């Protein structure tokens, strides 16, 4: 069968996680409108009659490396290009951005087949503009395929999936047919909590928080999850908790609902908020919090 690894790359917030979730027809990667929502490399495994495509959702590639967290995100994105069979480069809109030049150089170095997928084409009124952009893009880099898509509306995703499968090598299946991801439910629960925090809070605070599962207890009729939300300052802790604990209650309710859908069982979720000063600029602190891809 055709079987292999597919790296989904691009700048922050272009829709990589949304694309993988729709290709899998199941939510594995968390999403939000805020850049840098994805922090870890996550495998999404899609097994069909044609073969097995193992998608690797990655943090967005970006310029800033001022903090340890930014350097970690770039390292994770870069190392994903090692050992894959196909690269899908996702961009939004019909123009190049400053950091795209860096991605061009990375692709030239790895020498792998690349599909250019232009996302959010439903917003382009003149389809001739797409053809003109593709012609220009083909002169920039020897893309194997160029395809307009809408990850959110599933436009041309079946065609994209077929192109990917054709480009994968002939192999035995790497993962069991019924496996969807390489990540345990404990990790996915932490990501769901962080997604709800990111969606509920302001523009800056989500980058200063992370979630750690302290205990994950599976019982016959209920799963009990005890999680710590780490922030960098006391003022941030107060924002996450909210007036009379209102914000934390809303986040807990949102997260519990999605975790129950994920594991198919009733969930008891307990959240605490604690301060770990400047954790996002401390390599050792980050490793202790699970940033060790």
- Three-state secondary structure of 187-233: HHHHHHHHHHHHHHCCCCHHHHCEEEEEEEEECCCCEEEEEEEEECC
Statement: residue 79 has pLDDT above 90: no
Q: pLDDT tens, 164-176? A: 999 999 999 999 9
pLDDT at site 57: 87
Two tokens, residue 243: 């007036």
CA angle 156, 161, 163 (to 5 degrees): 95
Tens of pLDDT, residues 204-218: 676 789 999 999 999
**Mean pLDDT across the chain, nearest whole number?**
90
Q: Which two tokens mark 232?
A: 């960098």
Q: What are the structural domains, with CATH classification, of the chain? A: 2-167 (3.40.50.300), 185-288 (3.30.300.20)
**Average pLDDT rounded to a whole number, residues 198-203:** 83
Cite the DSSP H helix spans in 80-209.
100-110, 127-140, 157-167, 185-200
**Residue 292 φ/ψ, nearest 5 degrees:** -140, 35
Strands 145-148, 210-218: parallel, antiparallel or unpaired by DSSP? unpaired
pLDDT at 121: 87
Tell me if the pTM is above 0.85.
Answer: yes
Distance CA 68, CA 282 (A): 6
56: three-class secondary structure by DSSP: strand
Looking at residues 47-57, what average pLDDT do you find? 94
User: Given a cut of 80, is residue 151 above it in pLDDT?
Assistant: yes
């Amino acid at each position: 069968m055709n079987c292999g690894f597919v790296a989904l790359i691009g700048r922050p917030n272009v829709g990589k996680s949304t694309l993988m979730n729709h290709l899998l027809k199941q939510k594995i990667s968390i999403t939000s409108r805020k850049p840098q929502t994805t922090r870890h490399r996550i495998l999404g495994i899609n097994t069909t009659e044609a073969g097995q495509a193992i998608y690797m959702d990655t943090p967005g590639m970006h310029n800033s490396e001022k903090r340890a967290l930014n350097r970690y995100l770039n390292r994770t994105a870069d190392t994903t290009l090692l050992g894959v069979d196909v690269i899908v480069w996702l961009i939004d809109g019909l123009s190049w951005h400053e950091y795209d030049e860096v991605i061009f150089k990375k692709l030239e170095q790895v020498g792998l087949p690349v599909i250019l997928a232009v996302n959010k084409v439903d917003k382009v009124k003149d389809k001739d503009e797409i053809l003109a952009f593709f012609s220009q893009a083909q002169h920039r880099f020897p893309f194997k395929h160029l395809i307009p898509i809408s990850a959110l509306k599933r436009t041309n995703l079946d065609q994209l999936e077929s192109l990917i499968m054709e480009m994968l090598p002939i192999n035995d299946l790497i993962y069991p047919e019924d496996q969807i991801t390489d990540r345990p439910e404990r990790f996915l629960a932490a990501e769901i909590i962080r997604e709800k925090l990111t969606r509920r809070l302001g523009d800056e605070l989500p980058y200063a928080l992370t979630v750690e599962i302290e205990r994950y207890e599976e019982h016959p009729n209920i799963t009990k999850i005890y999680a710590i939300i780490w922030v960098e300052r006391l003022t941030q802790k107060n924002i996450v908790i909210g007036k009379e604990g209102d914000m934390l209650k809303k986040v807990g309710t949102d997260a519990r609902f999605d975790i129950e859908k994920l594991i198919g069982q009733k969930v008891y979720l307990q959240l605490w908020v604690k301060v770990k000063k400047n954790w996002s600029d401390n390599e050792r602190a980050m490793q202790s919090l699970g940033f060790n891809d």
